Amino acid sequence: MGFLSLHVNDVIVYIHKVKLRTGQTLGGSTAHFADCDNIVLESDESKTIVHTIVGSPQIPEIADIVIVVDYRPFWWPRSSRKYARFTGAYINNWQWTAQPSSDIRREIDTAVDDDIKQFTAIQKFENDRQKQSH
């Protein structure tokens, strides 16, 4: 492992707002990318996160999403959090623009922390159930 290797704890997409073509607006939800949890990224590696909103059968008209990554260098005892916010519009394909996330940071953190707690509880429940079945 290189000096700048990172341990990725959690990858979560926070959906701030999605406007469907029906006029319905959704938001305030999260999607946990479990296959990206607890991976190691070496200094020359990257990982692409593609949310299902991109290939959804009912393609939204506009979207405002934030990709949240909790990570830490191996030599550092605490995790850090990285935010990447994008707004997008769909015409014939998605057109994304990077945006600042500071104005909704508290909202993001609350939703993401709740997601991590729920995800951890579900994992613990499933692990306990598997142990009991053996």
Strand, coil or helix: 28: coil
pLDDT digits 0-9 by tens, 55-87: 566 778 899 999 999 998 877 888 899 999 999
pLDDT at 26: 87
The tens digit of pLDDT for each residue in 13-66 reads 999 999 988 888 889 999 888 888 888 888 787 887 777 665 566 778 899 999
Helical (H) or strand (E) element with 85: strand 80-90
Compute the distance between CA of residue 122 and CA of residue 85 in angstroms, rounded to an integer.
27
The average pLDDT across 75-101 equals 90
Residue pair 4/73 in contact (Cβ under 8 Å)? The answer is yes
Contacts of 100 (CB under 8 A, 6+ apart): 85
The ranges assigned to domains in the chain are 6-133
> Residues 48, 84, 25, CA angle at the centre, nearest 5°?
100
Indicate the pTM of the whole model.
Answer: 0.82
